[in-house]
Structure 1
Amino acid sequence: MSLWIPFTVMAAFMQSWRNAFQKRLSTDVDTLGVTLARFILAVPMAALYAFVLFSYEGSAVPQMNAKFYLAIVLAAISQIFATALMVKLFRLRNYAMGVGLAKSEAVIAAVLGALLFAAPLSAMAWCGVIIGSIAVWLMSVPKGMRNISWPTMLIGLASGLCFAFTTLWVREASLMTQLPFLQSAAYVLFWVLLVQTLILLLWLLVRSPQTLRALCLKPKLVFIISFCSFVGSIGWFTAMSLETVALVKTLGQIEIFFTLLISAKWFKERLQRSDKWGLGLILVGAVLVILA
């Protein structure tokens, strides 16, 4: 089995839990505060993880150029916007639908990767990406276009676009390091999390210090969100250092399966008949990208 596959499954599982805990936090903390909870405690975890990997392998920390740090900043900012938009989705629609709309990133990443990042796909891989995207659409809009508002649609697609840019810039930065895949993923992860945390902390300190106080009142929930985000990001970043973004994100749509289980069991949200069709198509799409 290709190593990117188990890393992607791990990432999808942890991300589904992170999103669930973020939804719970969003009832007491505003959008940027919930977004910061994803990053703030993940930074020391990422630093420790990178230190252990570099020490164990005896690898030297690379000296990177300005192009690398530009990719890091672009990825960090894109993910901040993507996460904030998805948190807004939690307030507009139910949990499963919000996540489903944001998962449009797979097909967006495939198109952008082919056009802008020299990452073309085979015909079979394109079939997998498209089938997976249709599955996500069926599960996100089970009653058709007439039952979804345009603001919800636009926010979902914007979140998917920002997530797509995030993952494409992360892969570019990983390839620039020329390190073994574990070290390159850990190094990029640390820098992305650090930049995200500094940006949000400075913004909230100046514009909304009450948001930081609200986060301090939820230390356990913030820790769980940061931990799930850290482990999930290890999976995503490592998988994307091994395989193209579109394939990783298409297989990563199995997150919808975990999300539906959490949605039904934890949030007591009703699932639709179309969910079964959607899950079946996600499975087909995942098989196609693995075979590709």
Structure 2
Amino acid sequence: MELWIPITLFAAFCQNLRSAVQKHLKGQLGSTGATFVRFGYGFPFASLYVAVLHAGFGFAFPEINSVFLIAGALGGLAQIFGTFLLVYLFSFRNFTVGTAYSKTEPIQAALFGFLLLGEQISWATGFCILIGIAGVIVISLARTSLSASVVRQSLMSRPALIGLGSAAMFGASAAAYRVASLSLEGTGVPMQAGFALAYATLFQTIVMIAWMIFREPEQLTASLAAWRVAIWAGATGVAGSIGWFTAMTLQNVAYVRALAQIELVFTFLASWLVFKETIARSEIAGCALIVLAVLGIILWS
């Protein structure tokens, strides 16, 4: 098994944990504050990781270049915009189809990977990616009572366009991060990924602090006051991001983001085994499609 596969599975599991903490914090902080803690409280852990790689494992610090600075900043901004669009999507009453559209990220990551890096995927892997996205969409629509006519009317609605925009931002972010990491040649994959992560997280922290100071100062105050819980969002978020950045340094972003869909399977396993929640048959079918897609990606990537 190639190394990027278990690293991606680890990242998906950590993202589950981070999402659970952020969901808890959203009730206390609001959308902006819950988004900020991912970056603001994550940066110290990202910096610590880079320091350990250098002092403990002998990885040299990379030479910073313009491609790294620009790609890392663009990736950071795209990730922030993608997160805000996804949060904004939930303010619409008919957000379900838009949410399903937001799950097209692997396809858009493949597009941006091709445009920025010239990366291509095989027909077999592309088919697996489509199967996985179908599974995610089935899960997204599982507990709704949407009729065929309502779905047709919603395909080009404002929430649908916002969902597509969110997916595009996340796809562009993944590709930009890969560009930034690959530009740091000669320092080893762990340092390339870790240094890119630390820079992106620092950039995002500065941008969000500036935004909150001028637009939502109460959110910044609340985020600092909630540090006892927020620090766990930062720790789990960085653990997952270390996995994402490392996997995307090793492999095509489309493959990594497609395999990351396994996160939803982890979510439903936790709901069923830990919280004893009832899962609909369509959700089980969606999980089965995702697992089938993941197995295909592992076999044919």
Per the normalisation by structure 1, the TM-score is: 0.90
Shift of 1:125: 1.1
**8 Å CA contact retained: 1:34, 1:87:** no
**1:119 and 2:119 correspond:** yes
Q: CA distance change for structure 1 residues 281 and 28 in 2, over 3 Å: closer, same or farther?
A: same
CA distance in 2, matches of 1:161, 1:172: 16
Shift of 1:228: 1.3
What amino acid is aligned across from residue 173 of structure 1 in structure 2?
A: A
Q: CA distance change for structure 1 residues 74 and 269 in 2, over 3 Å: closer, same or farther?
A: farther
Shift of 1:269: 7.2
**1:161 and 2:172 correspond:** no
Q: Deviations over 1:154-202 (max 9, x none)?
A: 3332222111111100111111111311111101010000000011011
CA distance in 1, matches of 2:239, 2:206: 20
Cα RMSD over matched residues? 2.7
CA distance in 2, matches of 1:17, 1:90: 21
Pairing partner for 1:240 from 222, 242, 248: 248
Q: CA distance change for structure 1 residues 125 and 87 in 2, over 3 Å: closer, same or farther?
A: same
Once the two structures are overlaid, the 10-residue window that deviates more, 159-168 or 137-146, is 137-146
**1:180 and 2:193 correspond:** no
Counterpart secondary structure, 2:261: helix
Pairing partner for 2:199 from 191, 194, 197: 191
Counterpart secondary structure, 1:177: coil
* Correspondence list, 1:118-157, <5 A: 118-142=118-142, 143-144=145-146, 146=150, 150-157=157-164
**8 Å CA contact retained: 2:98, 2:164:** no
Shift of 1:115: 3.8
Q: Which runs of 5+ in 1 are unaligned?
A: none
What amino acid is aligned across from residue 239 of structure 1 in structure 2?
A: A
Per the normalisation by structure 2, the TM-score is: 0.88
**Could you say which residue in structure 2 is the equivalent of 1:23?**
23
Q: Deviations over 1:25-58 (max 9, x none)?
A: 2223232211111111111111111011122333
**1:171 and 2:149 correspond:** no
Shift of 1:220: 2.2
CA distance in 2, matches of 1:92, 1:268: 29
CA distance in 2, matches of 1:136, 1:127: 14
**Could you say which residue in structure 2 is the equivalent of 1:42?**
42
**8 Å CA contact retained: 1:23, 1:87:** no
Counterpart secondary structure, 1:63: coil
Shift of 1:266: 7.8
What amino acid is aligned across from residue 294 of structure 2 in structure 1?
A: A
What amino acid is aligned across from residue 240 of structure 2 in structure 1?
A: G
**8 Å CA contact retained: 1:101, 1:140:** no
Q: CA distance change for structure 1 residues 174 and 108 in 2, over 3 Å: closer, same or farther?
A: same
Shift of 1:137: 1.3
CA distance in 2, matches of 1:14, 1:223: 14
Identity across the alignment (%):
37
Q: Deviations over 1:226-284 (max 9, x none)?
A: 11111010110111111101111111100011223455678887643211111111111
Shift of 1:287: 1.3
Q: Which runs of 5+ in 2 are unaligned?
A: none
**Could you say which residue in structure 2 is the equivalent of 1:209?**
217
**Could you say which residue in structure 2 is the equivalent of 1:55?**
55
CA distance in 1, matches of 2:128, 2:221: 45
Q: CA distance change for structure 1 residues 195 and 54 in 2, over 3 Å: closer, same or farther?
A: same
**8 Å CA contact retained: 1:97, 1:139:** no
Pairing partner for 2:295 from 266, 269, 287: 287
Q: CA distance change for structure 1 residues 169 and 162 in 2, over 3 Å: closer, same or farther?
A: same
Counterpart secondary structure, 1:120: coil
* Correspondence list, 1:61-72, <5 A: 61-72=61-72
CA distance in 1, matches of 2:93, 2:288: 23
